[in-house]
A and B are shown apart, each in its own frame.
Chain A
Amino acid sequence: MHIAEGFLPPAHAVAWGVASAPFVVHGVRSLTREVREHPESTLLLGASGAFTFVLSALKLPSVTGSCSHPTGTGLGAILFRPPIMAVLGTITLLFQALLLAHGGLTTLGANVFSMAIVGPWAGYAVYRLLRRYDVPLMVAVFCGAFVADLSTYCVTSVQLALAFPDPSSGFLGALGKFGSIFAVTQIPLAVSEGLLTVLVMRLLVQSSKGELTRLGVLVAGGKRVQAESSEAVAR
């Protein structure tokens, strides 16, 4: 999903930067508030960022005969809500742009938009929706992480198709082309990311029950979920 340095025309680069900036600024605010109000969260915040670091460094082979990497943004979005992932994802992308020549500064806005904004929000939305309908926690976590991963690569395909529409078949033709490179390759990797996120969430449930309850991931005895659904029935 890394659009390489200089590979977006200047107008597109600026536009995606402008679109991403408010999300990142808002994310920085949420992050400082979270750390100030709950200093004990710092460790788990670090672990969420670390998960993104590991997963986005793992280039895995896929069924299309090419390699790609997961994003690791679903976990943090589920734990701390998406705004915070806008910051943690941006840090990861900056590290790769500056040290690895992977992605770039001119394409940072576009890459942040796909990996640190749309991915976390889409994954979080799916997770919340499934939890609302009493889907088991781990199933919701898997689907959330899967969607966060896959939607990131779909956004990248759209970004590239907008910048480089096919001369004969236009935007849709280019979307098909980039989609087959990114999105299809990503499907098995998104499954892997879902499984790894479930694994880490299981370890968290075993080790950090208190923390997960405070963050609303675990509800004491499932009471709130039940209350919500019985309210829905009453309405």
Chain B
Amino acid sequence: MSRNTKINLLLLLAVALLAVMPLVLGLGDDKEQPFTGSDGEAETAITEIEPDYEPWFSPLYEPPSGEIESALFSLQAALGAGVLAYYFGLRRGRKQGEQRARERDAAGVGGAGESDGEGV
């Protein structure tokens, strides 16, 4: 494994540890409902400060269940991950293609020069 790959894997490991640590240490145990969304907590805080506040507009579309909501969240993540993977795959493939073309030029033409110049 190259040094680059090792560093990249360590970065991923650090992110995973940061995400798992609060769960392992049970940092949500003192709450009635551990690990709820902070957006929802803010809504609760608003109703604490202003008990009379009524939201004056409701979402045009609301996922009918938690399952549908998580499906749509996964869709969002999958779309993003797909595009990122496409980008890096394409780059890698192009780089390899260019390198192969260069090698073929160097080997096949035997230093005729012409295609060497174009290859760069």
Contacts and interface: CB of A to CB of B under 8 A. Distances in A.
B23 A202 contact: no
A164 B50 contact: yes
Given A66-B41, A182-B42, A202-B8, A57 B76 contact: yes
B27 A181 contact: no
B69 interface: yes
Per DSSP, chain B at the interface is: helix
Main SS class of interface, A:
helix
A167 interface: yes
B46 A160 contact: yes
Give the interface size class of chain A.
35 or more
Given A50-B84, A65-B22, A65-B27, A181 B77 contact: no
A10 to B, nearest CB: 7
A102 B40 CA distance: 10
A199 B35 contact: no
B19 interface: yes
A66 B41 CA distance: 8
A141 to B, nearest CB: 12
A2 B8 contact: no
21 contacts: A1-B39, A5-B58, A7-B46, A46-B83, A47-B87, A49-B83, A50-B81, A51-B84, A53-B77, A54-B80, A54-B84, A59-B73, A65-B35, A66-B36, A67-B38, A100-B69, A160-B46, A186-B38, A189-B18, A192-B18, A199-B12
Closest 6 pairs between A and B when the two form their complex, measured CB to CB: A6-B55, A53-B80, A65-B28, A54-B80, A50-B83, A6-B57
Interface of A: 1-7, 9-10, 43-44, 46-47, 49-68, 95-102, 104-106, 156, 160, 164-167, 174, 177-178, 181-182, 185-186, 188-189, 191-192, 195-196, 198-200, 202-203, 206-208
Interface of B: 4, 7-8, 11-12, 14-15, 18-19, 21-23, 27-31, 34-39, 41-43, 45-46, 49-50, 53, 55-63, 69, 72-74, 76-77, 79-84, 87-88, 90-92, 95
